[in-house]
Structure 1
Amino acid sequence: MDQELKQRLVGAVVITALAAIFIPMLFDDPVDETGKKINELKIPELPERLQSSQAVRVPQNSDDVIELPLKRPMKTVTAASDQASALHRWYLQVGLFSQQENALSLRDQLRRQGYAASVSKVKGDQGEMYKVKVGPEMNRDRAEAIKVKLKQQNDLNSFVIQDED
């Protein structure tokens, strides 16, 4: 084959490849620009109870902050605060050990059974002791039910204690 024919064939292949790439771009849909458009933002009206309240002026500098009046805490007692003060955390004390390893062993055994067990270090008359607790429970009756379950499953004698905090 002569050189001129080879060059023509290579040129035809290149032009065909370029046409296959760029001609579909001419017939494609235009670029979707809906994500770039900003829709009209409509701010809803203020509720009636907020329309009547006054806005608090924001301090602009340190002198404005110094001039702000001091607010005194309210001393009213609400039903919610009464109810919150009546809430307690209840635990089951399942063991008290002088050796940390023994306490950790019991804790791990209870955790494998699905109980929320923990070990806390306490100071006793005989030095440091390790208390194994299960809980907390917000309801004492629920703690009592867990106590019965622990007795049945593990033959553990435990007693319900209130959180020390």
Structure 2
Amino acid sequence: MDQQLKQRLVGVTVIFSLAVIFLPMLLDGSGDRPKHLEISIPTPPKIPSYVTVEDKVIELTRKVEKLPQLEAIIVDEIADQPVVQKSTSKTEKLVVAKQNNKSEAEAAVIKSTEAQAKPVPPVKTKVPVEVSKKPVKKQTGGTSWVIQAGSFSDKAKAYKLRDKLRKSGLASVFIEKFKHNGVLNYRVRMGPFISRNKARVIGNKVRAKYNIKGLVMHYEK
């Protein structure tokens, strides 16, 4: 479109210039003399030739199709070459090395069998002493005190309270079983403590933390 527009504009300017020159001559009557006019018309620019994408694709596919043929030729040339005799020498060395390893292994087996044939003196085995897993009771010596946090006829409640107090880490917690009117009951106790004041201090901490009013009692067991 730009080239056509340029050509049209050039044509219009040429016609306009001719009209300006010849019209006065025709009107005045002085246009009998022929005059040579030189008009320079610009040459149209060359349009570059574009290569389509389809042509490039076709060329690439043709080049790719030629590649497998080259690979086949190279493989055939390699297959036709004679095999070097170095591989045979290497295999012979490997066979000799394997035979040496076998002889060494057989000698080691013979030595081990001879060692096994010798009488072995009996080994004295120490009998492991069984260690009792029962908790060791604290030997307080003299008078001791405990905090009774609760007494239950329900075993589950007693053990639940015991686990709860053990998590506090204030003191050791244990359960003492006793029978009341033929029914088995469970006392949850903390301690024992060597002094009554120590038991009272721990009891106050338990009361402040868990809202449990424990009884400080003399521990006779």
Larger radius of gyration: 2
Higher relative contact order (CA 8 A, sep 6+): 1
Greater helix fraction, Structure 1 or Structure 2: 2
